[in-house]
């Protein structure tokens, strides 16, 4: 049984584990105030070319989303998201639990547009309704798509014009940035957003996300929020060490590219067998549509998520690759599919 | 200028004011523990034929909604509502501010159906998503429609089957129950829901809503919730006195019926002039569609809410009548419209 | 049975009811946007000599406290209060329900001092603890004491120095300002605090508190908070009318002075009989200490709250007077006590 | 410079790291549904002799506290804690951020007693105040003390009698259970509490706490709460592996005992030099009182927390040992202190 269920089925890249091993018995300051975390922050600041950015390491993505959003909004303010946005669906109401409404917009492809943002603004006009104040996007998105530079610039423009914070969830940032059709860099993203995060958990770290805050007013007292929501790790240097490794020698990009390469092979083979996709993804998540019978057969040797039916006979599944996906696993999947097609 | 903007433009029915006047210098117990409140509770219990019901008086509708919902749900649970539901749109995120997601379902006519409830359940299946636990409906709805007995029975059935609480927002309950097409009584509603409220504010009281709790587990410590959310009036007997008057001598129904009658006259006249409606309402809110020019002309003598455009040339407005709407006001509107049509 | 249980046992001053009666059938704008509310705001602005103040009318005190505090604080910030402060004890955790800790300081007399504020600051120094950001005081306090001008100036000074908002709960502001030992005016209070409220409910209105916001940053979007917490009355002009009456012809002060006069008579008589007090109050709440037997006897003809035991044989009770307290009631109490003493 | 600042200055016991290394490339189910977590649960169930217990692994202590408490309480309910309790002071208002008041009781030694619990109940008697519903204790406590079996039995008794949940924070459970004066076992604690957790982070794991739920009604939907608060680790097996190691071959106890042994040596030497302690600790936290000069000198070679002044000349510091504390470090400290004393 080989798993394409998600990009967090294995542990961490061996170099990361090695670095943790080596530092294991050194005494460190707690709570992210250690030298590894400081060094990792420096590496990221160089990468994004924003020496003034504040950078915090947080164990997981849901925590990061809820802390960033709750930190930025006043009680009556809301965040605009795609209906498919992780904060809208898959976090068990984590944002609402901090008191804020998620204004969920229907999208064609998991991506918000200036028109959708404007539509949310137009329908929230006075104190009887929540006040939209932040735009949440994910890159790559939950359906595997990604923002182009032009699209991000357009979103950034309307956000600045309308006084909305722009927040990018980068749980799968690595996959987005190393996609064959990507034209963005981390430095661009830092230029165009107010706050974003770089995902470690889904790209070869044991755990950890790096929040990058560009906008000054969002920096204030951010550590209070991290602590209050239980996200300030006692042994915070464990996150620092991992991001040191990720941003030395291109490990972050190399791992993500491997995941995309593996997905690319699957994509080509699936299309080659004549199957279509629910979403046009060039990242590490694919959403092919198969017949129920093919899915049943595949499921005997591979694990993956089964999503919604697309018609009576067909269903969409999700295949996820990662830094750890093996060529052998991918090869076997392709072979099996060819046999079934 | 005559106003059809809402059903709370005037104060209270003179009999209600008179009763308050008479009791003004008597010393009462505070916080709803007085004899007027007790008597009003008794009158309502008789009306609904549920002697075991718990009844609480709360100053306003948003408070009532947020208290009932926050009281019933665990932190990870959500309430299902029509997209047009008051709790979803017009309460500035009051429900989310208590930590709960509103699962908003698109509807044809502002009414939830068993199919929509099932759809919400089907898309929320594990701990990565909120858990639907309550169904919120309003009667009459925000678009003027109302539930039939058959519809409410069907909703009640699925709620009981699936372990969902059924909560009816009755801010405009009077108008629903006295509508010419109504086939429900308060006693039916008490049979079919777990908790509901009877609106006073929009039906001739100065302020006040009567929450009726049928389900035992929802009764526990409800007064703690009322107090915590700032809804326990020091001079609680003021609410008691008003509901005493409302439920003596049919005042509640008489006032609502007057509002419906006035709306009925408007409805007939508008249709008679060849205009159509955005919603098929037989209650005290009408949503006629006029040309921009007609609206501009009407707005010179009448005030009302202008809702969304329906096409380039037309727009929907909202006309609301109440116990206080005068025949003269209605007559003038009809006359003006006939001239313009 | 005559009640000294609280200052909200009767309705409203007849002039207030009269004004409501007269305006009853006039159509008004909803939600506090009407001309009565505007006029009442103007009267209060004149009284406090701060034409730039924002003024909002809110139905009750707990709501007012929670809205003001939740509006001012970021999620990790806390409010400093006396242990006896209403927000700390008697609001069922309303402040905590908005997410904020109340830092409760032991006091000698229900009043905060600069030293106590400094002590709270000294023990909250980093992101592992909440951040004190607001000081909450009540005037008169829950134990009947009141702030002198010098005391309030000293508190105001430390608050401005340390970047703390100063918020005065004036549920019993009338009684404080008309006390024989008072040396403050509403204008002084507006000079020295950032936000305060003027209590109507406990001083002859049916319901209603007037929030006065002096500090600009606290003004922003305050109506969103009012709405979200269910405190925006549909028939908001009812509050406006009442505050119009309160601040025309000195009614606010006259009613409060009457309550204080009645308390003064009780105070003198109680002391004259040789009894002592748990608190040195010159306002409308007295805390005499009697033997259990005397309390038992008094309780046959009068109702009042019984507070804590002061020793084996004695107990403290609370006597509250108001605008509606009759000379006859006070006379009877004095007579009874003299007989028992 | 040798650090006695806390018990989380180093990484994890080498056996733990080794186990993580070995499992690194195996594919696991996410979110704690893997076989390592299941096995660790089984080991803990055996240890506590409660096969019916629910066990969940959560990354950190603040998260664990807020999830357990928010999961158990209704919105108007409160948790009783010692003033020194971690949830009261050192979590930046994490509990209040979930909406609940912490009722903080002054204690002699960081430990709650039945009398203190009763006192909290006696002062919270109606719906104008929060309703105490849970008792929070830590073992060992924040001042290094620990509960005896008799003390825990007494607390358990009053909690069951009064309908209060008893929750033990075991962030330093290992140190408590291996203290020379301990007479409790994990099985006893499971018998006597409703929910508790076993701390990994402060006892040789990289991160992780094991929540043990005994009371059925607290088990329901607990994973929803974990997810909502961002505490459901994608790579949850990392926690499972660590607790497998901790509860195989006594590693959990051996590490804690080492920390206590090191503290015991320090304790004896400090007392031998004639210094006293602010708290009578037999666990891994010591609170010796030194002169400012001695502290200054010690601080040149050792790091530690400086707590409050005890008089003009003296101050209390905190020394913490752990599984990783070296005999050399302890020896050097003793030597230095002897020189200074």
D303/D144 Cα distance (integer angstroms): 19
How close is the nearest chain D Cα to the Cα of B133, in Å? Answer: 13
Question: Which chain B residues have a beta carbon less than 8 Å from that of C242?
Answer: none
Alpha-carbon Rg for chain C in angstroms = 20
pLDDT, chain A, mean: 97
d(CA A213, CA A190) in angstroms, rounded, equals 9
What are the tens digits of pLDDT across the range A283-301? 999 999 999 999 999 999 9
Largest CA distance in chain C: 60
Best mutation target, B76, B93, B123, B308, to test chain A (most A CBs within 10 A)? B93
Yes or no, beta carbons of C228 and B97 under 8 Å apart: yes
Digit-coded pLDDT (tens) for C95-131:
999 999 999 999 999 999 999 999 999 999 999 999 9
Is the bond preceding residue B140 a cis peptide, omega within 30 degrees? yes
In this prediction, residues D28-48 reach a mean pLDDT of 98
Confidence of residue C167 (pLDDT cuts 50, 70, 90): very high
**pLDDT single digits (tens) C43-78:** 999 999 999 999 999 999 999 999 999 999 999 999
Q: Closest partner residue to C130 among D75, D92, D98, by Cβ? A: D92
- Please write the tens of the pLDDT for every residue from B268-281: 999 999 999 999 99
Residue A111, pLDDT score:
98
Contact D225 B76 (CB under 8 A): yes
CB of D170 closer than 8 Å to CB of D197: yes
Against chain B, the chains showing at least 3 CB pairs within 8 Å are: A, C, D
DSSP letter string, A85-150: -HHHHTTTTHHHHTT--EEEE--SSS---HHHHHHHHHT--STTS-EEEEEEEESS-TTS----HH
- Is D75 in Cβ contact with B71 (below 8 Å)? yes
Total number of residues shown for chain A: 341
Chain C residues touching residue A226 (CB < 8 angstroms): 127
D85, burial (CB in 10 Å: exposed 0-12, middle 13-18, buried 19+): buried
pLDDT per residue as tens digits for the range D205-217: 999 999 999 999 9
Q: Hey, how many other C-beta atoms are within 10 angstroms of the C-beta on C165?
A: 22
Q: Which residue does chain A place closest to B308, by CA atoms?
A: A123
What SS3 class is residue D99?
coil
pLDDT surpasses 90 at B308: no
Partner residue facing A92 (CB), from B91, B92, B127? B127
Cβ distance C101 to D78 less than 8 Å, yes or no, reads no
- Reported as a single tens digit per residue, the pLDDT across B159-217 is 999 999 999 999 999 999 999 999 999 999 999 999 999 999 999 999 999 999 999 99
Query: Which whole-number Å values give the CA distances from A189 to A168, A199, B130, in the listed order?
Result: 8, 14, 31
Query: How many residues are listed for chain D in this entry?
Result: 341
CB contact under 8 A, D235 and A8: yes
Q: Is it the case that residue B60 has pLDDT exceeding 90?
A: yes
Q: Please give the DSSP secondary-structure letter assigned to residue D212.
A: E
Judged by CB atoms closer than 8 Å, whether chains meet at A235 and D8 is answered as yes
Asked whether the beta carbons of residue D17 and residue A24 sit closer than 8 angstroms, the reply is yes
Q: Is the dihedral of CA C302, C303, C304, C310 positive or negative?
A: positive
Tokens linked to B195: 């908790």
Q: Which of D6, D17, D229 sits opposite A30 (nearest CB)?
A: D6
Query: What distance in Å separates the CA atoms of residue B168 and residue B179, rounded to the nearest whole number?
Result: 17
pLDDT over 90 at B4, yes or no: yes
Nearest-angstrom CA–CA distance, B226 and B232: 6
* Tally of CA atoms within 13 A in the half-sphere of A233 that contains its CB: 32
The mean pLDDT of D17-28, rounded to a whole number, is 97
> Percent of chain C beyond pLDDT 70?
100
| Residue-level pLDDT at A308 | 87
Chain B partners within 8 Å of C5 (Cβ): 29-30
Nearest to C193 by CA among C222, C164, C162, C226: C164
Torsion (CA) C101, C102, C106, C107 in degrees, nearest 10: 160
Number of alpha carbons in the 13 Å side-chain half-sphere of residue C156: 18
Grade residue A33 by pLDDT with cuts at 50, 70 and 90.
very high
**How many Å lie between the alpha carbon of A99 and the closest alpha carbon of chain C?**
9
- Average pLDDT for A21-39: 97
d(CA D251, CA D255): 6
pLDDT at D244: 98
Which pLDDT tens digit goes with each residue over A195-216?
Answer: 999 999 999 999 999 999 999 9
Is residue A339 scored above 90 in pLDDT? yes
Q: What does DSSP assign to residue D313?
A: S
If phi > 0 it is left, if psi is from -120 to 50 it is alpha, else beta; for residue D304 that is: beta
Among candidate residues B32, B29, B72, B62, the one with its CA nearest the CA of residue B221: B72
> D2: which chain A residues are within 8 Å (Cβ-Cβ)?
27
SS3 C80: strand
3-state secondary structure A224-289: HHHHHCCCCCCCCHHHHHHHHHHCCCCHHHHHHHHHHHHHHHHHHHHHHCCCEECCCCCCCEECEE
Per-residue pLDDT at C308: 87
Per-residue tokens: A188? 């661009």
Interface contact B128-A90, CB threshold 8 A: yes
> For position C8, what pLDDT does the model report?
97
Q: For the segment C198-253, what is each residue's pLDDT rounded down to a tens digit? A: 999 999 999 999 999 999 999 999 999 999 999 999 999 999 999 999 999 999 99
Alpha helices in C123-181 (DSSP H): 149-162, 173-177
- Looking at beta carbons, which residues of chain D come within 8 Å of A233? 59-60, 207
Burial of D151 (0-12, 13-18, 19+ CB in 10 A): middle
pLDDT at D130 over 90: yes
Would you call B100 and A93 a contact, using CB atoms and an 8 Å cutoff?
yes
CB atoms within 10 A of CB B338: 12
pLDDT at residue D308, rounded to an integer: 87
Residue C244, judged by CB atoms within 10 A of its CB (0-12, 13-18, 19+), counts as: buried
Distance CA D47, CA D31 (A): 24
Beta-carbon pairs below 8 A across chains B and C: 154
- Count CB neighbours of D53 within 10 A: 19
Candidates D229, D237, D328: best to mutate against A (most CBs of A within 10 A) is: D229
Asked if residues D159 and D117 have their Cβ atoms less than 8 Å apart, the reply is yes
Q: Which residues of D touch A30 (CB under 8 A)?
A: 5-6, 8-9
Place of tokens 């008072």: C182
């Amino acid at each position: 049984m080989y798993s394409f269920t998600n990009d967090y089925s294995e542990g961490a890249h061996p170099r990361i584990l090695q670095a943790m091993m080596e530092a294991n018995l050194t005494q460190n300051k707690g709570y992210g105030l250690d030298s590894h975390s400081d060094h990792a922050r420096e590496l990221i600041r160089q990468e994004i070319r924003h020496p003034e950015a504040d950078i915090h390491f947080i164990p997981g993505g849901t925590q990061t989303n809820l802390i960033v959003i709750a930190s930025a909004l006043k009680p009556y303010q809301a965040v605009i998201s795609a209906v498919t946005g992780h904060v809208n669906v898959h976090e068990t109401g984590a944002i609402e639990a901090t008191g804020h409404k998620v204004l969920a917009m229907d999208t064609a492809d998991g991506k918000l547009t200036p028109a959708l943002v404007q539509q949310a603004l137009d329908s929230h006009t006075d104190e009887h309704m929540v006040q939209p104040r932040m735009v949440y996007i994910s890159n790559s998105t939950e359906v595997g798509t990604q923002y182009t530079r032009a699209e991000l610039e357009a979103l950034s423009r309307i956000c600045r014009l309308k006084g909305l914070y722009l927040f990018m969830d980068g749980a799968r940032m690595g996959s987005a940035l190393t996609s064959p059709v990507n034209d963005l860099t981390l430095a661009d993203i830092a230029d165009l957003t107010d706050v974003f995060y770089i995902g470690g958990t889904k790209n070869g770290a044991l755990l950890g996300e790096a929040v990058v805050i560009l906008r000054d007013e969002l920096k204030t007292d951010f550590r209070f929020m991290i602590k209050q929501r239980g996200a300030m790790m006692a042994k915070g240097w464990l996150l620092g060490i991992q991001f040191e490794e990720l941003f030395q020698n291109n490990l972050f990009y190399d791992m993500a590219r491997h995941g995309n390469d593996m997905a690319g092979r699957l994509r080509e083979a699936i299309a080659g067998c004549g199957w279509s996709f629910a979403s046009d993804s060039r990242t590490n998540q694919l959403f092919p549509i198969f017949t129920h019978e093919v899915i049943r057969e595949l499921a005997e040797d591979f694990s993956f998520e089964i999503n919604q039916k697309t018609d009576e006979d067909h269903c969409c599944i999700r295949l996820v690759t990662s830094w750890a996906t093996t060529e052998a696993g991918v090869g076997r999947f392709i072979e099996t599919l060819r046999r079934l097609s």
